[in-house]
A and B are shown apart, each in its own frame.
Chain A
Amino acid sequence: MHVGVDVGGTHTDAVLMDGRRVVAWVKVATTEDVATGIEQALAELVRSASVPAERVEAVMLGTTQFANAIVQGRGLVRVGVLRLALPIGTAIPPLEDWPPDLVRAVDPVVRQVHGGFEVIGTPVAEVDPEEIRDAARAFRAQGIRDVAITGVFSPVDPSQERLAADLVREVIPEARVSLGYDIGSLGLLQRENACVLNAALGDVAERVVDGFSAALRRLGLTARLYLTQNDGTLMAADLAKRYPVRTVGSGPTNSMRGAAAITGIRDAVVVDVGGTTTDVGVLVAGFPRPAAVYVSLAGVTTNFRMPDVLSLGLGGGSRVREEDGGVRIGPDSVGYRLTEEALAFGGTAVTLTDAAVAAGRLALGTHPLPPGRDRAWGERVLAEAARMAEEAIDRMKTQAGEVTAVLVGGGSVLLPDALEGVREVVRPPHAQVANAVGAALAQVGAEIDRVADLDPAHRAERLGALRQEAMERAVEAGADPATVEVVEVEETPFTYMPGHQVRVRVRAVGDLAALPAPAGR
């Protein structure tokens, strides 16, 4: 059996699953210190299911703690930043596009040194070992042990970054080193940004992972611990300590993966209706479609792949207004104050929930609705909500034609069973904890993003090597070798240039050992 935990801004959800079956679930308020809430949720979960602790084989954690640490600039450590690029790359120094507050929070010591590669694999400059030792001594003098190393085109050839890491460890034996090629894809500044954020999370990562492990031990759980990543796959806890930044976008991902896991549907639009917003995402072959562009994290541009999510100001607490003879919903919401401020609870705010009550879609509340808020009005408002959802679904579709829509989240009852452009509306059970289910059922995977010379004579051999490397990395991350497969190969040629240099992205995914294979559909 497996436990999935999703720590969100307001709620911490946990589910206990036997294969694909939800045995028990709990939803508690997220506590200030996070850990207490998680421990409460787990204790309650194990107690309510009356399952012996040793039957829990694995615990999967999806958490916003790392993202929050970055957004709030709290708990970050000082970072030694090493860029291997001289004599180029000089016009835009490291952290150049960061918000000043976050630069102060990370308080970096920056050294630009010789190194880097050209796209064709020749060095920009050779690494000068003494130059790097000197930089490391400067870091050590400041008490820095978290070091971020990024070289030009390191996804083409990571050897210089690795060599630099060894040289840093000569000087700082206890160094925690983040390497650019391990963390981000092409785009030096964005990869370096992600690498520095990763290094800055060094302490937070150890605290969260160790704290969570300790909580499991206190509860008598000996299960293996994993964290969920942005792309919907798992990372073993010891890897998560080294690569915390890979988890920062896992919330919407888990929700979508949960919808896929519960329903067995692999290609669909997932509509997650909450109290304030509706998140619309797209499942492609069981995984969230990634966003195409750079992702801004607390004002820092990064280039790891995040799920492509369209957020609408549409939720159970959304305020409803009459405008120009029509109805306008949101984007503002009464949020968690719904049960005080909504008409149905004796308040004065007109909300989408009130419209659902008026239309007879929901039976809740403590007060009768005032005159005029009748069935016809309620249906008019809900029709507008449906139209907004339809438009969002249409925008997110990957191709023309009708799609399947999976509706999850506490507010999904506000949407009808028939939506334009939708073949079938699916409302899975346990939709309110889909995110924790998604964490519990997550697979293990790895992605590599390289530049390769795919001239026709060597194309098959070189692509094969890249596929092999992606699969090996997936196994290293904890996947069952028997189930690992390459799920995505994307080639992007370089424009304006001759030759066969191609950017190749390969993603391999497999099941976590002892987890049943996904049902598929």
Chain B
Amino acid sequence: MREIGEREVEWIAEGAAVLGTGGGGNTYLAGLDLRRLLRQGARVRVVQAEELPDDAFGPVLSGMGAPTVGIERLPVAGRFGALVRATGRALGRDPAFVAIGEVGGANALRPLSGAAESGLPVVDADPMGRAFPELQMDTYMIAGVPPRPLLLNDGKGVEARLEGVPDPWTAERYARALTWAMGGNAGVVVGVVTAAQVRAYGIPGTLSLAQEIGRAMERARAGKRPTLDAVLEAVPGGVRLFEGKVVDVSRRTAAGFARGHVVIDGLGAWRGERLRIEFQNEYLVARREEDGAALVAVPDLLVLIEEESGRALGSEMVRYGLRLHVLALPAPWELKTPAALRVVGPSAFGYDVDVAPLPGDLLGRAAPAAVGAAG
């Protein structure tokens, strides 16, 4: 068990933006909410799943909706704390911890507000290890943890509780529609997990990883070193994929997704080459422009670091002329099992690409033999 303060929140925010792989929403407002809670004396404690008894359980918390709506409605004080209490009411037993639904982007911070408001610790794990756009792209769901209860809070005093939701696809569809009706922005609980389930199916240590990435980046900045080096030190399996200047950006919106691609003209060691990155909110596939050959694909993480600021760049911010470094970080092995790849692999996003996942693991762990054979 450890406690985090304002500095750690800033590190987590910066690291979560890296793990957001271009999506996941801006961490600025969620960070301000948490800072206020800490200054008011609230405490945020982080526990490892191993410290908790097997049958202890917690709600999986996240925010849902359009980032463009979030910047108007702002975070609502007490919303995630209310969702924790609602979970207790729905199950007739009080939760013992708070679980993170998505460690990439702003959703890394929202459960911490829930922890601060409820007094419960947050468990250092999540079911994505990055940002994904939809609820079913989640290792708890892939393992068969039911999305029950499904709770939504509109921030105005209305709480929705959906019973009997059979599967994560249904949860995604209903929650998305309700979120829109609630004003395009909701706090959600998608099921509960026990500590045993977090240990079995969750990706451990991802909150700490976000914090470590952010801390290393801040240290690099202070030492006038490139922040991308810091990211690669924090994620030893990562590689520098490309460096260059954006020469083309194309965007369109389809079915609620900001789809598009970026073309980067190589500089330095990559002069004379071009890289194309396709995105749907998150960066999903990197291809050699010359022949279209895929080099890296989801679930591996594509991270664009803007040279001047040294910060991870959201896909909505990419524009012509920016100098970028492209990093590829290996997905955690939990996302590379055959069952997981069906849900979070390239085909789940409509890409027909055949590319071997990057060797290694986001957290530097040795993969279980079964996964190594499959990968």
List A residues at the B interface (Cβ < 8 Å): 85, 87-93, 96-97, 118-120, 122, 124-125, 152-153, 186-190, 292-293, 394-400, 492-499, 503
Determine if A186 and B75 form an interchain contact, defined as CB atoms under 8 angstroms apart: no
Partner of A497, one of B65, B75, B79: B65
- The 8 A-B residue pairs with the shortest CB-CB distance in the complex, in nearest-first order: A91-B75, A118-B183, A493-B253, A90-B77, A91-B33, A91-B77, A494-B66, A187-B71
- Which chain B residues border A399 with CB–CB below 8 Å? 320
Given contacts A91-B33, A496-B256, whether A119 and B77 have CB atoms under 8 Å apart is no
Partner of B183, one of A97, A120, A188: A120
Nearest neighbor of A501 in chain B, beta-carbon distance: B184
A397–B78 CA distance with the chains assembled, in angstroms: 46
- Which chain A residues border B253 with CB–CB below 8 Å? 493, 495
- Give the interface centre of B68, B75, B258 by most chain A CB atoms within 10 Å: B68
Determine if A496 and B73 form an interchain contact, defined as CB atoms under 8 angstroms apart: no
Partner of A395, one of B68, B72, B184, B323: B323
Determine if B256 and A495 form an interchain contact, defined as CB atoms under 8 angstroms apart: yes
Determine if B33 and A496 form an interchain contact, defined as CB atoms under 8 angstroms apart: no
Given contacts A397-B321, A499-B180, whether A494 and B68 have CB atoms under 8 Å apart is yes
A13–B67 CA distance with the chains assembled, in angstroms: 44
Asked if B133 is at the interface of the complex by the 8 Å CB criterion, the answer is yes
Determine if A496 and B321 form an interchain contact, defined as CB atoms under 8 angstroms apart: no
Determine if B257 and A495 form an interchain contact, defined as CB atoms under 8 angstroms apart: yes
Determine if B76 and A118 form an interchain contact, defined as CB atoms under 8 angstroms apart: no
Determine if B33 and A124 form an interchain contact, defined as CB atoms under 8 angstroms apart: no
List B residues at the A interface (Cβ < 8 Å): 29, 32-33, 36, 64-69, 71-79, 113, 133, 155-157, 176-177, 179-180, 183-184, 245, 247, 253, 256-258, 281, 317, 319-323
Determine if B321 and A395 form an interchain contact, defined as CB atoms under 8 angstroms apart: yes
Determine if A89 and B73 form an interchain contact, defined as CB atoms under 8 angstroms apart: yes
A85–B253 CA distance with the chains assembled, in angstroms: 29
A296–B71 CA distance with the chains assembled, in angstroms: 16
Given contacts A499-B180, A503-B68, whether A152 and B73 have CB atoms under 8 Å apart is yes
Shortest distance from the beta carbon of B136 to any chain A beta carbon, whole Å: 15
A311–B183 CA distance with the chains assembled, in angstroms: 41
- Which chain B residues border A398 with CB–CB below 8 Å? 320-321
A122–B155 CA distance with the chains assembled, in angstroms: 15
Given contacts A189-B29, A494-B66, A497-B65, whether A87 and B72 have CB atoms under 8 Å apart is no
- Which chain A residues border B281 with CB–CB below 8 Å? 495-496
Shortest distance from the beta carbon of B72 to any chain A beta carbon, whole Å: 5
Given contacts A493-B253, A495-B67, A495-B258, whether A394 and B73 have CB atoms under 8 Å apart is no
Given contacts A87-B155, A88-B155, A119-B183, whether A495 and B66 have CB atoms under 8 Å apart is yes
Given contacts A96-B36, A395-B321, A495-B281, whether A89 and B76 have CB atoms under 8 Å apart is yes
A90–B113 CA distance with the chains assembled, in angstroms: 13
A497–B65 CA distance with the chains assembled, in angstroms: 7
Shortest distance from the beta carbon of A388 to any chain B beta carbon, whole Å: 14
Q: What 15 new A-B contacts, CB under 8 Å, besides A119-B69, A152-B74?
A: A88-B155, A89-B73, A90-B74, A118-B184, A120-B183, A187-B72, A188-B72, A189-B71, A293-B317, A394-B321, A395-B321, A398-B321, A494-B68, A495-B256, A497-B66
- Which chain B residues border A498 with CB–CB below 8 Å? 176-177, 180, 256
A336–B257 CA distance with the chains assembled, in angstroms: 53
Determine if B74 and A91 form an interchain contact, defined as CB atoms under 8 angstroms apart: yes
- Which chain B residues border A124 with CB–CB below 8 Å? 73, 156, 183
Nearest neighbor of A495 in chain B, beta-carbon distance: B258
A48–B258 CA distance with the chains assembled, in angstroms: 59
A400–B274 CA distance with the chains assembled, in angstroms: 14
Shortest distance from the beta carbon of A359 to any chain B beta carbon, whole Å: 29
- Give the interface centre of A124, A394, A397, A496 by most chain B CB atoms within 10 Å: A496
- Which chain A residues border B155 with CB–CB below 8 Å? 87-88
Given contacts A92-B33, A394-B321, whether A186 and B71 have CB atoms under 8 Å apart is yes
Partner of B74, one of A120, A188, A395, A397: A188
A152–B75 CA distance with the chains assembled, in angstroms: 12
Given contacts A292-B317, A497-B256, whether A88 and B73 have CB atoms under 8 Å apart is yes
Shortest distance from the beta carbon of A293 to any chain B beta carbon, whole Å: 7
A204–B64 CA distance with the chains assembled, in angstroms: 43
A118–B72 CA distance with the chains assembled, in angstroms: 9
- Which chain A residues border B320 with CB–CB below 8 Å? 397-399
- Which chain B residues border A119 with CB–CB below 8 Å? 66, 69, 72, 183-184
A395–B319 CA distance with the chains assembled, in angstroms: 11
Determine if B33 and A87 form an interchain contact, defined as CB atoms under 8 angstroms apart: no
- Give the interface centre of B72, B79, B320, B323 by most chain A CB atoms within 10 Å: B72
- Which chain A residues border B180 with CB–CB below 8 Å? 497-499
Partner of B156, one of A88, A188, A503: A88
- Give the interface centre of A96, A187, A395, A495 by most chain B CB atoms within 10 Å: A495
Determine if B74 and A88 form an interchain contact, defined as CB atoms under 8 angstroms apart: yes
Determine if A85 and B74 form an interchain contact, defined as CB atoms under 8 angstroms apart: yes
Determine if B36 and A496 form an interchain contact, defined as CB atoms under 8 angstroms apart: no
Shortest distance from the beta carbon of B181 to any chain A beta carbon, whole Å: 9
A493–B254 CA distance with the chains assembled, in angstroms: 10
- Which chain B residues border A492 with CB–CB below 8 Å? 68
A186–B66 CA distance with the chains assembled, in angstroms: 13
- Give the interface centre of B64, B76, B184, B319 by most chain A CB atoms within 10 Å: B184
